[in-house]
Amino acid sequence: MAFPIRKDAMRAVRCVVAVVACVAALAAPARAFADTPAIAYDGNARQLTVSGATDSSGEPDLFLAFKDLMPGDVRDQQIEIRATGVKSQVRVFVRAVVDHETARLLSPITLTASAGDGSAGWLQTGTPGSVFACPTQIATFTSDGSTVLNLQLNVPTSVGNEVADANKTIRWEITAEDDGEKIPMQSADSKKLGLLGLVATGDNTLTLLLVLLTLAIIAFIAALLLSRRDKR
């Protein structure tokens, strides 16, 4: 038997559902913005983190846009580097650890890396295994600010499909140097769990959406209980 729902209760349900719909519409672009690859250093917490540039295991991967490569591909990727709480001088370094077999597979591919707009910053060209073979300084900050690391990969038409995901085995070492002290990148295991057991990454959109959905369900159940009470 169906129970009619009071108009005021139904109005409350509609309001909550409307808010949930709005948050859902904004969730996708908000999360996309939050996932822009970035290396961030917080001088106050003396903490170096990487967001939007990690693989499925949580390890850093600066070549996320360079997967499923095909002969003739030209791929571009930008990574933001930012620093806050800078009190003296902060330098950010990147090193790619590549085994012999991976280096051989990637040797026909050309990687160009530049910092800033490419004219004022450094510019290096080599293979994906050679450009960052040694700890490479990609940014220097004497005050709070940000810059961009530009990467471009050129795959010759002469290579085979074996290069498609060869860069998956590259292990990245990202460090910061703050006033002479070396700061390692925060590991994936040190991420904190937030509300409802979700990983806290600074983007609470999903958490907010779940909370609003819960409120909508509670409001709907309350409306049903009120309608049943009025029928008695």
Amino acid sitting at position 53: A
What the block records as the tokens of 60 is: 């850093």
Please, which residues bridge with residue 136 across strands?
94
pTM, entire model:
0.65
Between the CA of residue 97 and those of 61, 70, 158, what are the distances in Å? 12, 23, 26
Would you state the structure tokens that stand for residue 169, as one six-digit string?
């085995």
For residue 16, give Cα distances in angstroms to 10, 12, 23, 29, 205: 10, 6, 11, 21, 16
Give the pLDDT confidence of 207-219 residue by residue, as tens digits.
666 777 787 788 7
Domains of the chain: residue spans and CATH = 7-31+194-231 (no CATH), 37-188 (2.60.40)
pLDDT of 201 > 60? The answer is no
**pLDDT 10s digits, 163-193:** 888 888 888 999 999 988 999 988 544 444 4
pLDDT of 94 above 90: yes
Measured between alpha carbons, how far is 90 from 139 in angstroms, rounded to an integer? 8
User: What is d(CA 102, CA 85) in angstroms, rounded to the nearest whole number?
Assistant: 38
Residue 156: is its pLDDT beyond 70?
Answer: yes
